[in-house]
Homo-oligomer: A and B are copies of this chain.
Amino acid sequence: MAARVTITEVAARAGVSISSVSAALNGRPGVSDRTREKIVALAEELGFVPSVRGRSLAGKRTYAVGLVVHRDPDVLELDPFFGAFIGGIESYIDRYGFALVLQTSSSRDQVLDRYRRLAAGRRVDGVFLNELEVDDARIDVVRELGLPTVGINADADFPLPSVRQDHAEGIRDTVEHLVALGHRDIAFVGGPPHYVHSRQRERAWRESITACGLSPRRVVLGAFTYESGLAAAAQLLAGDERPTAVVCANDLSAMGFIAQAEHLGLSVPRDLSVTGFDGIQLGAYLRPSLTTVQTSPKALGAEAARMLLALLDDVDVADTDIPAASFVVRDSTGPAPR
C-alpha cells in the first residue's frame, strides 16, 4: 500500500499548521493569499487527496449518496434505464467529490433495511428514491431517519423533494398520432399497478383516449418485461375483435407484444400498430423500429443529484421538472387497417 500523504505531512512540509492547510485547501477564509498559494501548490505536488474518512468523521458529511435498487431475485437484470440514470447522478456528484453507494436487494423488506443501515452507519448523506410505489414504505423510513431524500418521477402528493419528467405529453402525442392514423380501438399494456409510474402512464393513456372521444376499454397489466408483453399480446389478440393499436407502458413489453403479434401471423405495423415508452436504444434498431416516448434518464439522474446535494447544503429546493419526454415516431405504427 503506497504511503499516503496526509494533511499533517503537507503542513509540516509547508511549515504551517494543519488548520491553515485545511482552510487553504477548502477555500475557507483565514489564510493569506500567499500562504494559500504555497499550500495549494505543495499539496498538488505531493499528490495530497484528503481522506474521505477523516474528513467525514470531523465534518458532518460522508460525501456519498445512496441508491437502493429493488429487483426480484429472478429478474436480476437491471432495466436499461439504470445505466444512464446512474451515469447522470455521477456526472453531477463527481465534481463535488461525492460517490454513489449502490445497493440491490431482492425483497421489499430488505430494501427498507438497506436504507436504514445506510443511514444508521452514516454511510451516505442522502438517498434517491426511484421506482416509487403507491404508499411507498420507504418514505416513512427516510423521514424517520431524517435522511435527505430526492424522489424520482413522484406523484404530485409526494411529501419530499422530487424531480419529474412529464410523461403525459408523450403519451398524449402517441394516442393522437394513432388516432390521426385512423385507429379507434387502442388498447393499453400497463405495468404493475403498485408502481406510481405504472399508474401515471395508464392515467395518461386513459385521459388521452377520452380526450380523443374514444373510450379507454382494453387494458392488460403486465410487468414491464418482454415476457409480459408476449402474454399481453396473447391475451389481447386472441378474440375476433382485436384492437388495431396498442400503447405499451414501456419498450420491453412493446417488444414482447410485437414478437407475439408476429408469431400470431400479424404484421406490425400493417395489421397492428404498437408503441412503447422509455426510448431504449434497442428500440431504434428493432425491425420494425419502435415508435415510443423518449425519456431522459441521464438528465433525471443529474437533476436529482443536483437537488440532493443542494438539500445537503440546507438549500431550499423546489421540485423540478426536466423537459418532457418526447414522442418519437418510428416504424411500429402505421395506418389503421380498414
Contact with B along A117-151 (1 / 0, CB 8 A): 11011110000000000000000000011110000
A8 sits at the interface (CB 8 A): no
Please report which residues of chain A, range 46-93, place their CB below 8 angstroms from some CB of chain B when the two chains form the complex. 47, 49-54, 56-57, 62, 64, 69, 71, 75-78, 80, 82-84, 86-87, 90
Question: Chain B residues near A97 (CB, 8 Å)?
Answer: 121
A80 to B56, CA, bound (A): 35
A267 sits at the interface (CB 8 A): no
Closest partner residue, chain B, to A100 (CB atom) = B102
A positions within 8 Å CB-CB of B = 1-2, 4, 47, 49-54, 56-57, 62, 64, 69, 71, 75-78, 80, 82-84, 86-87, 90, 94, 97, 99-106, 117-118, 120-123, 144-147, 225-227, 230, 252, 256, 259-260, 262-263, 280-282, 285-287, 297-298
Pair B281/A75 contact, Cβ less than 8 Å? yes
Question: Chain B residues near A83 (CB, 8 Å)?
Answer: 69, 71, 76-78, 82, 104
With known contacts A2-B145, A103-B90, A146-B2, A78–B71 Cβ distance under 8 A: no
Question: Chain B residues near A259 (CB, 8 Å)?
Answer: 285-287
- Taking A51-B122, A76-B298, A256-B285 as known contacts, 5 extra A-B pairs with beta carbons closer than 8 A to each other, sorted by chain A number, are A53-B57, A71-B87, A77-B84, A101-B101, A230-B285
Question: Chain B residues near A118 (CB, 8 Å)?
Answer: 99
Pair A226/B54 contact, Cβ less than 8 Å? no
Closest partner residue, chain B, to A256 (CB atom) = B285
Closest partner residue, chain B, to A66 (CB atom) = B99
A52 to B63, CA, bound (A): 13
With known contacts A56-B53, A77-B280, A102–B102 Cβ distance under 8 A: yes
> What are 17 A-B contacts with C-beta separation under 8 Å?
A1-B146, A1-B147, A51-B121, A52-B122, A53-B122, A57-B57, A75-B281, A76-B297, A76-B298, A77-B80, A82-B82, A90-B103, A99-B123, A226-B285, A226-B286, A227-B281, A262-B287
A120 to B101, CA, bound (A): 17
